[in-house]
């Protein structure tokens, strides 16, 4: 049986649900405040966890390289210790993401976390052995830890790529939107502050009237695909009903996680009270006289 099929079996293991529920409540109860959004990776525009995991993995791989050469026992030991210290923030960021994912993600994520925890335990034993001068045992335990980390990484890759745990579920829909203007209704047909579901071709969109303007976003939440039109609108933002991601209506910026990527916003035109939308035009780069370049919206003024 292929590795992917084995991992798919983990996705269906309902026996893990009780443990995932308990751990999820524990993670959600952590008093992280706005720091939770930082751990999600909102300032980066993508998840922080994959960035942080480079630190322990890099340290442990480097330790394994030094273990293969004589005379570097002390340096290898320091790298083992550095990897254990760096694993803590990486695990916290991963746990925060995991708690806001779907059940299949959480089942695989639980095994992923168990593998990584076991790896840290093996490295702790490796460090203890090295401290006692038993460098041969320390190297063996370190190699076992690195192998276990590899298994954990395999599961993490499945969550990120096969299950799209860290990818935007909305950005690709921009390419399916028409580049020509399409009418979606009259301004007076939209109720102030009430999200409305619609379809533009085969792409779901959400429209919200704010005063005399109408804001239109791709309806599919970029985090896990939730329906934004069923969410709540407040203070110029829409909140997804599934996991609470909050996006600014004017530009789709993430105001609250767990989403990290901005929500795609359509270009809107209102003429004679009729609302039309289209795919956002690309930004062109136009040279200045002195050689500088400034971004210019190629759509500006064309349809005014």
Q: What HEC string does 169-234 produce?
A: CCHHHHHHCCCCCEEEEEHHHCCECCCEEEEECCEEEEEEEECCEEEEEECECCCCCCEHHHCEEE
pLDDT-based confidence at residue 281 (cuts at 50, 70, 90): confident
pLDDT > 70 fraction of the chain, expressed in percent and rounded:
92
Please give the C-alpha separations between residue 258 and each of 34, 114, 187, 251, in angstroms, as whole numbers: 11, 23, 32, 18
DSSP bridge pairs for 246: 239, 256
Task: Give tens-digit pLDDT for 99-134.
Answer: 999 999 999 999 999 999 999 999 999 999 999 999
CA-CA-CA-CA torsion sign (15, 5, 116, 141): positive
Cis peptide upstream of residue 258 (ω within 30 degrees of 0): yes
Alpha-carbon distance of 225 to 190, in angstroms, equals 24
Tell me the average pLDDT across 182-204.
94
All residues at 6 or more sequence positions from 22 whose CB lies less than 8 Å from its CB, including other chains = none
Dihedral class, residue 257 (left if φ above 0, else alpha if ψ from -120 to 50, else beta): beta
pLDDT band at residue 290 using 50, 70 and 90 as cut-offs: very low
Beta strands at 182-186 and 196-200: parallel, antiparallel or unpaired: unpaired
User: How far apart, in whole angstroms, are the C-alpha atoms of residue 52 and residue 92?
Assistant: 10
Q: Could you say which DSSP state residue 278 is in?
A: E
Confidence band for 282, pLDDT divided at 50, 70 and 90: confident
pLDDT band at 136, cuts 50/70/90? very high
- Distance between alpha carbon 198 and the CA centroid of its chain, in Å? 26
Q: Please state whether beta strands 182-186 and 274-278 pair in parallel, antiparallel, or not at all (unpaired).
A: antiparallel
The residue count of the chain comes to 304
Distance CA 195, CA 207 (A): 6
Residue 148 is encoded by which pair of tokens?
A: 């276990």
Contacts of 207 (CB under 8 A, 6+ apart): 184, 185, 190, 195, 196, 198, 214, 215, 216, 275
CA dist list (Å): 285 to 117, 278, 292, 298, 301: 48, 21, 10, 9, 16
The answer, yes or no, to whether residue 208 has pLDDT greater than 80, is yes
- pLDDT in the model for residue 256: 95
User: pLDDT tens digits for 215-253?
Assistant: 999 999 999 999 999 999 999 999 999 999 999 999 999
Tell me which residue of 109, 108, 112, 103 sits closest to 242, measured CA to CA: 103
Averaged pLDDT score across all residues of the chain: 92
In sequence order, what are the beta bridge partners of 233? 238
The per-residue pLDDT for 171 is 92
């Amino acid at each position: 049986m292929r590795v992917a099929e084995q991992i798919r079996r983990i996705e269906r293991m309902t026996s893990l649900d009780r443990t995932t529920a308990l751990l999820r409540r524990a993670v959600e109860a952590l008093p992280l405040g706005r720091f939770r959004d930082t751990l999600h990776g909102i300032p980066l525009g993508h998840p922080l966890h994959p960035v942080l995991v480079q630190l322990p993995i890099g340290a442990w791989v480097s330790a394994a390289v030094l273990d293969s050469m004589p005379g570097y026992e002390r340096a290898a030991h320091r790298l083992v210790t550095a990897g254990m210290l760096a694993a803590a923030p990486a695990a916290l960021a991963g746990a925060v993401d995991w708690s806001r994912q779907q059940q299949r993600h959480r089942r695989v994520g639980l095994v992923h976390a168990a593998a990584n925890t076991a790896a840290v335990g093996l490295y702790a034993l490796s460090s203890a052995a090295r401290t006692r001068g038993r460098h041969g045992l320390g190297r063996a335990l370190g190699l076992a830890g690195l192998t276990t980390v590899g298994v954990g990484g395999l599961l993490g890759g499945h969550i990120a790529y096969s299950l799209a745990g860290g990818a935007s579920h909305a950005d690709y829909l921009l390419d399916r939107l028409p580049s020509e203007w399409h009418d979606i209704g009259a301004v007076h047909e939209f109720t102030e502050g009430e999200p409305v579901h619609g379809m533009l071709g085969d792409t779901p969109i959400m429209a919200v009237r704010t005063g005399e303007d109408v804001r239109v976003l791709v309806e599919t939440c970029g985090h896990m695909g939730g329906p934004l039109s069923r969410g709540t609108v407040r203070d110029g933002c829409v909140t997804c009903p599934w996991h609470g991601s909050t996006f600014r209506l004017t530009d789709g910026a993430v105001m609250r996680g767990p989403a990290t990527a901005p929500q795609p916003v359509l270009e809107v035109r209102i003429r004679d009270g009729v609302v039309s939308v289209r795919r956002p035009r690309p930004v062109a780069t136009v040279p200045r006289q002195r050689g500088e370049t400034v971004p210019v919206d190629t759509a500006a003024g064309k349809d005014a």
